[in-house]
């Protein structure tokens, strides 16, 4: 299976992704995790990315697309993968479409994790990562509304979008996600 996970910051993509990749034996491709690892390793890309992440802005498309293009070539992606936090802009989605067309490996589904904004603030305040300060969260939500939300329509038009209610316990949300994925695998 080749799946994309879309949702606002703090919706719980990373949390659910861990369970999905274990259950369905998929590679977990989280651009947020990759950028944080690059930042902690103090690579050139990591240091550049940190300037954007710490302000709640998206890292430039060319940087992210290059990271994903390289990652998709790795052998563990052949059996399927979950893209967690990528694409986040229409330009990234178009670049992904081109890559997948060239490989002849189309997407199976795009899962949207739907969570209201008040709940996002509550969850992120509880996590307390460096980019979870209230003013940075607000900026990340602006970036989501302006740059990422248009992807919902982009994938709905292609018949790939499945909306999942992201309110409830982690287990309840995973059960809903599993229902969608089992239907696809079915």
The full length of the chain comes to 186
Interface mask toward ligand B4P for 10-49; x: CB under 6 A: xxxxxx---------------xx--x--------------
The half-sphere exposure of 108 on its side-chain side, counting CA atoms within 13 A, is 16
Residue 32 near residue 14, CB atoms below 8 Å: yes
Cα pseudo-dihedral 13, 18, 24, 29, rounded to 10:
70
Q: Which of 85, 58, 49 is nearest to 146 (CA)?
A: 58
Residue 86 touches ligand B4P, criterion: CB under 6 A: yes
Residue 82 touches ligand B4P, criterion: CB under 6 A: no
Catalytic residue among 36, 39, 88, 162: 88
State which of residues 6, 21, 58, 82 lies at the interface with ligand B4P (CB under 6 A). 58
State which of residues 21, 173, 176, 177 lies at the interface with ligand B4P (CB under 6 A). 173
Residue 112 φ/ψ, nearest 5 degrees: -105, 120
Residue with tokens 């330009």: 91
Residue 80 touches ligand B4P, criterion: CB under 6 A: no
Interface mask toward ligand B4P for 136-165; x: CB under 6 A: ----x-------------------------
């Amino acid at each position: 299976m080749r799946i994309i996970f879309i949702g606002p910051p703090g919706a719980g993509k990373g949390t659910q992704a861990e369970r999905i990749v274990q259950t369905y034996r998929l590679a977990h491709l989280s651009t947020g995790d990759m950028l944080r690892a690059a930042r902690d390793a103090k690579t050139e890309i990591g240091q550049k990315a940190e300037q954007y992440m710490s302000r709640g802005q998206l890292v430039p498309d060319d940087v992210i697309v290059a990271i994903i293009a390289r990652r998709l070539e790795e052998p563990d992606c052949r059996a399927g993968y979950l893209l967690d936090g990528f694409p986040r802009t229409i330009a990234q989605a178009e670049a992904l479409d081109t890559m997948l067309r060239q490989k002849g490996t189309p997407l199976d589904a795009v899962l949207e994790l739907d969570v209201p904004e008040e709940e996002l603030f509550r969850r992120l305040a509880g996590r307390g990562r460096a980019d979870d300060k209230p003013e940075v969260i607000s900026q990340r939500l602006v970036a989501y509304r302006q740059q990422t939300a248009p992807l919902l329509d982009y994938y709905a038009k292609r018949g790939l979008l499945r909306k999942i209610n992201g309110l409830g316990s982690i287990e309840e949300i995973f059960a809903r996600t599993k229902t969608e994925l089992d239907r696809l695998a079915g």
